[in-house]
Amino acid sequence: MIAHRVNTPLYIVHVMSKGAARAIGNARRLGWRVYGEPTAAGLGTDGNAMWSKDWAFAAAHVMGPPLRPDPSTKDHLMAMLASGELQATGTDNCTFCTKQKAMGKDNFAKIPNGVNGIEDRMSIVWTNGAKKGILTPSQFVAVTSTNAAKIFNMFPRKGCIRPGADADIVVWDGNAKRTISAKTHHHAVDVNIFEGMEVYGVATHTISRGVVVWENGQLKTTQGAGKFVPRPTFGNIFDGLDESDAARDPLLRKVDRPDRKSVV
Instruction: Give the pLDDT of residue 252.
Output: 65
Mean pLDDT computed over 190-215: 96
Residue from 199, 194, 196 nearest 46 by CA? 194
**CA separation (Å) from 108 to 45, 48, 104, 112?**
21, 16, 5, 9
Band (251; pLDDT cuts 50, 70, 90): low
For residue 263, pLDDT beyond 60: no
Please report the pLDDT score of residue 247 as a whole number.
Answer: 81
Assign 248 a pLDDT band (cuts: 50, 70, 90).
Answer: confident
In terms of pLDDT, which residue wins out, 149 or 252? 149
Residue 244: per-residue pLDDT = 87
How many percent of the chain have pLDDT more than 90? 88
Per the prediction, the chain carries an average pLDDT of 94
Query: Does pLDDT of 262 surpass 90?
Result: no
Find out whether 68 and 47 touch, Cβ atoms under 8 Å: yes
Q: Residue 208's closest CA among 157, 155, 169?
A: 169
For residue 161, pLDDT over 90 is answered with yes
Is residue 264's pLDDT more than 60? no
Residue 41: name the closest of 33, 50, 53 by CA: 50
Residue 31 pLDDT class (50, 70, 90 cuts): very high
Q: Which residues pair with 12 in a beta bridge?
A: 36
| Predicted pLDDT at 231 | 92
Residue 257 confidence (pLDDT): 81
Nearest Cα neighbor of 113 from 64, 69, 67, 45 is: 64
Span 117-132, average pLDDT: 98
